[in-house]
């Protein structure tokens, strides 16, 4: 699978560990940075990863910062992106099944590399449940997005 990843300085170490795990599993990973723990701004990476997913260059995106909140907020500003912050297996599975999330944000303060790898595996393996209620709701979300973006 083609996966875009990015992190600010606070998420750098966790991103690196997840990137290595994904590459070892045969995924094609595009890393948009950061390249060190030197202070950076999370919106820069959220934008690049989200645009990659929105354009179809990547099938899914992963973002890493201190809490995951800023990354998810910034990522959701890009048309077509459905970014979620999820901290446990059930949240990750449901955000894929119900919301067709295509970007997942992680808070490096709250999870370790082993947990992030497990959650990433669930995120990549879980399909969207095309049931009528979920699709209907996502169509309403897309309508809100279309009305508010110029």
Q: Which residues are catalytic?
A: 65, 98
Edge-to-edge strand ranges of the sheet holding 60-65: 28-31, 2-7, 60-65, 103-107, 83-85
Calpha distance 51→57 (Å, rounded): 8
User: Residues 85, 19, 9, 48: what is their CA dihedral angle, to the nearest 10 degrees?
Assistant: -70
The helix or strand, by DSSP H or E, that contains position 143, with its residue range, turns out to be helix 132-148
| Tokens coding 49 | 């990863």
Q: Which residues contact 114 (CB under 8 A, 6 or more apart)?
A: none
């Amino acid at each position: 699978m083609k996966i875009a990843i990015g992190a600010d300085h606070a998420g750098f170490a966790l991103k690196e560990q997840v990137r290595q795990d994904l590459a070892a599993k045969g995924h094609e990973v595009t890393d948009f940075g950061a390249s060190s723990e030197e202070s950076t701004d999370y919106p820069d990476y959220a934008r690049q990863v989200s645009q990659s997913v929105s354009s179809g260059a990547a099938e899914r995106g992963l973002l890493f910062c201190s809490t995951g909140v800023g990354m998810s907020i910034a990522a959701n500003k890009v048309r077509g992106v459905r970014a979620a912050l999820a901290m446990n297996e059930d949240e990750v599975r449901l955000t894929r099944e119900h919301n067709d999330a295509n970007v997942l944000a992680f808070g490096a303060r709250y999870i370790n590399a082993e947990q992030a790898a497990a959650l990433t595996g669930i995120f990549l393996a879980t399909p969207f449940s095309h049931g009528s209620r979920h699709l209907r709701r996502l169509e309403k979300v897309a309508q809100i997005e279309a009305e508010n973006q110029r």
